[in-house]
Amino acid sequence: MSAWRPDVPGVAEVFHARFIDHAYPLHTHDAWSLLIIDDGAVRYDLDRHEHGALTSLVTLLPPHVVHDGRAATPAGFRKRVLYLESDVLGEHLIGRAVDRPGWSDPVLRQRIHQLHLVLAQPGEDFQAQARLALIRERLGQQLRGQVPDWRPPHRDPGLAERLRQLLDERVTTGLTLDEAAAALHSHPTHLVRAFTKAHGVPPHRYLTGRRIDLARRLLLDGRRPVEVATASGFYDQAHLTRHFKSMLGTTPALFATRSPR
C-alpha cells in the first residue's frame, strides 16, 4: 500500500493498494475517487445501488455520496485511485456519476494509467498537469454522454508557436500548464493538442528536450552532473539521469568523459 500527495493542482491524493479480505464500510469522500482495477474485481454499493469495478472499467465515485467496497473474488483486488478535488469536475455532475459511475473506455483507462506512472516520478509535474487536463476533459464527456468519435486535432500553428516561445523562455524555471494557458488565453487541453499537432511532440516532451540540450552544453563546459541538474531545470540529479539516458543512451557522468580516438 502507498499513498502520497503530488504537487499537481487538482490531485488531492494518489492511493495504490492490494486487499484480499478488507471491506470498506459505508463512507463518503469530499473528493472525486477515480479508480482503476489492475487485478481482481470489486463490488460496491453507491447510493444504495450495487455496482462492480472490473479491470476493463474506469470507475468514478462522486464526492459526498455514500458508498462501500469489497472484493468480488476470494483472491482480492489491486487498485489505483486518484482523489481529485471537487472543482476538477464540478459538483453539478455528481448526479450523473451516481447514475453511471463506470465506463468501458480504453482511451481513458490508458490515460489514467499513464498519469499514475508520471505521478510516481519526481519532477514530472508539467507532464502530469497535461495528462490530467486530457483526463478531466474525457471524464466530463463521459458524464455528459458526449464522448466524440476520433477526429484529427484542430490545427492552431500560431498558438503552438507562442507556446514554444514561452517554453524556450522558461527552460530552467518551468511553468504550470494553467500558467501557460492563462498567458496565452487558451484552454489547457487545446494548448496541448495544438502544440502536439504542430511540433510532433507534446509540450512536456519538448521542454525536456530543451533541458537536455542545455545540460549537454553545461557538461561539456566541465560542470558536475549534480550542478547541471538544477541549472538545466531538472528536479535533481536522478531526474536528469533518467531523461538523459533515455535520450542519449548514456549517463551525464559518462557523457563528457569520453575523449575522441
pTM assigned to the model: 0.89
Evaluated on CA atoms 12, 205, 172, 255, the torsion sign reads: positive
> Across residues 3-14, what is the average pLDDT?
96
Domain ranges of the chain: 2-104, 157-200, 205-255
- In this prediction, residue 258 carries a pLDDT of 61
Are 82 and 11 in contact, with CB atoms under 8 Å apart? Answer: yes
Segment 63-90 shows an average pLDDT of: 95
In the CATH hierarchy, which top-level class contains the domain 2-104?
mainly beta
Rounded Cα distance, 154 and 249, in Å: 35
Q: What average pLDDT score do residues 127-149 get?
A: 91
Classify 233 in phi/psi space as left (phi over 0), alpha (psi -120 to 50) or beta: left
In CATH, the number for domain 205-255 is 1.10.10.60
Tens of pLDDT, residue by residue over 18-34, are: 999 999 999 999 999 99
Query: HSE on the CB side for 252, CA within 13 Å?
Result: 29
CA 197 to chain centre: 20
Residue 79 neighbours by CB under 8 Å, 6+ apart: 16, 17, 18, 19, 35, 36, 37, 38, 42, 53
